Structure 1
């Protein structure tokens, strides 16, 4: 592929704008709740959980409903829905009508739209590029996601400082308008959905589960991704607890720690397709287990340079998550049977997205128990190391993957 097709370039532009909107609104909404509305811890928890719960609640339903419709209009409507949700609550806030409940409603509506857009997007992407270009295409999208995580919160803080928190909430929804525009510019002819019997939605949902269960490689990838998401949920929950309570870092130091991880993720997204083209998809999926194995080095912080050890482990581990994400997404897209793409992707994403909050909950409970037993520093080191090991175990599910998996083209991703 000499260069990405025009249709994919617009799709990529749209996804990038959408990611930026996610990061801006994801920072601004809880900031308003905490700093302006003085929300309680329980209210902040509900606000944070609302976005996570959209996938477990609606993921498989989205797959069933989208099985027999064109995907591009769904992407456009989803982005406009998110725009409307945040602009509306922002305007109401400027007019003096704002509450934590209003923020929760906006986040909930945007979360449902995100689920439908995510399922539609993962199903739509394979129609925009050649099969062997799926890995570079997914790498480009993943790099945009990683970059948005790096710059999004800082940019949101600047916008809040310039226009104020309420106007910022409305302004931060504007990237969704750019995303909808980008999707509307995709001229690639989307294949007409296969003429199939219009089964009830519950039957289509069951179809997604059946396809994932009966296609060995799909089943292995989904199982591995669920385990990895659970482990990452543990690590991400305990990471800042360790940074603040054990190492005494400030909020600035915690922010820099997360930014360092985002830089590692951006590097991994940039290299994923190149490494897979050179060394093979299966080999690189297995090597991505270093994301979890790297946390075995964390106990070194008990003896030398604790901050330096934590940063090094965080950066190195973050490189490998996008490698796993890019490769497993490409393989899943290539293996989903025609006519079953949306239900397969919805099933996979629902299971994986449900594992992350479960890991967060277990990580928090384990941290409390471990610190009471071993003390703050040793207890949190134990939980972080265990969470990393769980994430690393994901590669055990793909160790028997076929060496004949479709390989990406050796091109700049």
Structure 2
């Protein structure tokens, strides 16, 4: 099992294969740094500032909601700017803000407001970078090889999510959370240096970029497109249900089942190998089944796994069963994600790619905290198992929103505003 080879990503346009590989290298470097510092900001709030539980929760909520508001007009800005410089600027901004935390802590000047600002900037920069990189990938990778390109990026995600948190946890144990945040900051600086070697990608012309119509152009296109519209609502419901279940699973494993922190870490890390395997298989699957059937089959298959977790009892087999079930969920999601990302990329006009990606990211980051909060409220009012069961029902219900009739449209000219 291996990731797609470099020769598979040749676009047929001179030098463009090299540009994607450099983009992939920079993405890998920053993804490693981010994976190592997962949860660093809340830990710093607790360990350095002695923040309360409410403050820690608000730190995540403020970062998500504020960044969603800030990045709404940034989609137009990204569309109008050269994509390489946009990605470099986003990485340098992340480096500066993340590096400011250990620097301020060293001089005793770190505050809770400072951490909130960092959370907002970090999330906003991630959305901007993702929007610009998707537009750049569409420019440099030929349509026939986009599933391979997206699979390679997903392979990085699953690999770093699998290995990063345990290694980052060990680093925190030895050197503290400020050290992991420093490593993350340096990773964005290295990523920016690698991105500087990319060939420039000319900015797209966007007329009247400050008008309401242009601000909402990403959502307008998604909602008018017969294929993207159901996939959009499916993604919001599925992603929300998954995020709902995530903290509840922690309570179930650590409190209800009584697993050790090591067992919990295994239950989090090992299933990511399923996502890695799925991303590797995605191109073969789409070749075998076609785009629509692959999206339907694995879009449904990824929704059935949360419900069984709610019925896992305590005992020596509890954690292995949960780990196996989660592995199957992420395997199906790992196959689905690159195929979906490629379909969205192929279906979106060049001049809207950044805004469509931004609209999708902003929606997800706004909806998911609401699901997480609702899951916590229901778990408090009943039990963690009931809350997890309801998340599973919503996840299963998201399958109804998948496009299952007729051929998925991909004619961008028909839907272009």
TM-score by length of 1: 0.88
Contact 1:260 1:311 (8 Å CA) reproduced: yes
Aligned to 2:415: none
SS of residue in 1 equivalent to 2:304 = helix
Do the aligned residues in 2 keep the contact of 1:282 with 1:402 (CA within 8 Å)?
A: no
Is 2:383 aligned against 1:383?
A: no
* Cα displacement (A) at 1:167: 4.2
2:269 aligned with 1:259: yes
**Structure 1 counterpart of 2:303, from 288, 292, 312:** 292
* C-alpha distance 100-299 of structure 1, shift in aligned 2 (>3 A): closer
Distance 2:180 2:39 in 1: 11
Distance 1:298 1:88 in 2: 41
In the superposition, relative to structure 1, how do residues 58 and 329 fare at CA in structure 2: closer, same or farther (>3 Å)?
A: farther
CA positional deviation for 1:104:
2.3
Match of 1:186 in 2: 198
Alpha-carbon shift at residue 151 of structure 1 (Å): 1.9
1:2-401 superposed matches below 5 A: 2-4=7-9, 5-187=17-199, 189-194=200-205, 196-288=206-298, 289-298=300-309, 300-302=311-313, 305-371=317-383, 380-400=384-404
RMSD value, Cα? 2.3
- How many angstroms apart in 2 are the aligned matches of 1:299 and 1:49? 26
CA distance in 1, matches of 2:90, 2:209: 24
Gaps of 5+ in 1: 372-379, 407-413
Which deviations, in whole Å up to 9, do the C-alpha atoms of 1:163-187 show, x marking residues without a partner?
4443443233111012112211122
Conservation of the 8 A alpha-carbon contact between 1:27 and 1:156:
no
**TM-score where L is the length of structure 2:** 0.87
In structure 1, what is the Cα distance between the partners aligned to 2:144 and 2:67? 29
Provide the rounded CA distance (Å) in 1 between the counterparts of 2:48 and 2:293.
Answer: 50
Q: Distance in 1 between matches of 2:219 and 2:270?
A: 37
Tell me: CA distance 1:125–1:201, structure 2 relative to 1, closer, same or farther (3 Å): farther
Task: Give aligned pairs, total.
Answer: 396
Q: Unpaired segments of 5 or more residues in structure 2?
A: 1-5, 10-16, 411-417
8 Å Cα contact 2:296-2:404 kept in structure 1: no
